[in-house]
Amino acid sequence: MRREAIADGDGVPRRPPRPPWQTHVRTVFWVVLGFVVTIAVWQSIITVRDVPNYVVPPPGDVWESLRTDFDTLWSNTKPTAIESIGGFLIGSLGAIFLAIVFVHSRILERMFLPIVIVIRTIPVVAIAPVLVLMLGNGLAPKIVIAALISFFPTLVNMVEGLQSVDSQSVELFRVLSASKWEVFWKLRIYKSLPFLFASLKIASTASVIGAVVAEWIGSDEGLGALIILATFNFRTSLLYATMIFASILALVLFAAIALLERIVVRWQPE
């Protein structure tokens, strides 16, 4: 059935909005097309420039490695996922708690926020060996590093969100005899949720990076350790396949946070 044009208030005809499923199909189409073009350019550069396989493998070799080394990739993804998720949860929850403390006590914020910033400026590769010496060679140092990377963006955005409440809204709550707990829970938390989820999206992907980097130092399992092994053995196809698995893990965590945001923050426009 042909769609009729809808007139605006000024009489100018406009097309009716597309159904949501058409928008999703168009989005998926452009995403798939982007990947196809990227792979085609990748293969073309290798063919034209005659790049050796040990430098940059062709897409076909990477696909073959994904197929033949799937069990190895999957078994090494599990510890990295545990470290990433554990670090993300610990770092994010700690950041939310500290942000609440900072908002209610400016003195504590002035005392400890600079220390947090200084710790964040230290490179991860410099912190990792220290944590391995302190906590051993198990999961603990990897989780702590992932937590440190997740901690800072969540803290900064959460503090910003809790402080974004305008004075008129606070005054209105006081006029309505709202308690401090009601002002905090029904106003500050409400206002801070968009800030929080924006930071959680960043922290979820950053936690995977932290876990992988931590596995470079003193680890015999995980995607980070597999990257080192593939590099030393000149198995470039496995190296690229490992990076793809790490990227997929980060995308899964990002998608989980985005889905949770759509469930919780329903008043935000799509």
Token pair of 9 as six digits: 């208030």
Does some domain include residue 269? no
Residues 25 and 110 in one domain: no
- Rounded to an integer, what distance in angstroms lies between the CA atom of residue 130 and that of residue 138? 14
Other Cβ atoms closer than 10 A to 200: 25
CA 143 to chain centre: 15
Structural domain range at position 82 = 58-264
Per-residue pLDDT tens over the stretch 193-243: 989 999 999 999 999 999 998 888 878 889 999 999 999 998 999 999 999
- Is residue 12 over pLDDT 60? no
Helix spans in 50-138 (H): 59-68, 70-104, 106-121, 124-135
Residues 251 and 134 in one domain: yes
pLDDT digits (tens, 9 = 90+) for 77-94: 999 999 999 999 999 999
- The alpha carbon of 60 is separated from its chain's Cα centroid by a whole number of angstroms, namely 29
For residue 51, is it within any domain? no
Closest alpha carbon to 206 in 247, 163, 146, 116: 146
Which tokens is 260 given?
A: 């949770």
Q: How far apart are CA 165 and CA 184, in angstroms?
A: 10
Say if strands 13-14 and 6-7 run parallel, antiparallel, or are unpaired: antiparallel
Residue 4 has pLDDT above 80, yes or no: no
Confidence of residue 1 (pLDDT cuts 50, 70, 90): very low
User: What mean pLDDT value characterizes the chain?
Assistant: 86
- The answer to whether residues 140 and 11 belong to one domain is no
> Angle at CA 239, nearest 5°, toward 235 and 240?
120
pTM to 2 decimal places: 0.84
For residue 7, the cross-strand partners are 13
Integer Cα distance of 206 and 208 in angstroms: 5
pLDDT at 268 over 80: no
Q: Does one domain contain both 69 and 91?
A: yes
Q: Is residue 150 predicted with pLDDT exceeding 80?
A: yes
| Alpha helices by DSSP H, the chain | 20-49, 59-68, 70-104, 106-121, 124-135, 139-162, 167-175, 180-183, 189-215, 223-232, 236-264
> Alpha-carbon distance 63 to 67, whole Å?
6
How far apart (Å, rounded) are the C-alpha atoms in residues 194 and 199? 9
Q: Are residues 40 and 104 in the same domain?
A: no
Is residue 250 situated within a structural domain?
Answer: yes
pLDDT for the residue 8: 52
In sequence order, the β-bridge partners of residue 6 are: 14
Contact 228, 125 (CB under 8 A): no
Select the more confidently predicted residue: 253 or 20.
253
3-state SS assignment for residue 7: strand
Evaluated on CA atoms 191, 193, 197, 203, the torsion sign reads positive
The full DSSP string for 70-91 is HHHHHHHHHHHHHHHHHHHHHH
Examine the domain organization and report whether 149 and 64 are in the same domain: yes
Q: What secondary structure letter does DSSP report for 188?
A: I
Q: What total number of domains does the chain contain?
A: 2
Band of residue 2 on the pLDDT scale cut at 50, 70, 90: very low
Same structural domain, 196 and 147: yes
Q: What is the pLDDT of residues 18-72, one digit of tens each?
A: 666 677 788 888 889 999 999 999 999 988 888 888 888 999 999 999 999 999 9
Residue 1 lies in a domain: no
Q: Are residues 84 and 41 in the same domain?
A: no
Q: What average pLDDT does range 238-264 have in this prediction?
A: 94
Instruction: Please report whether residue 270 resides in a domain.
Output: no
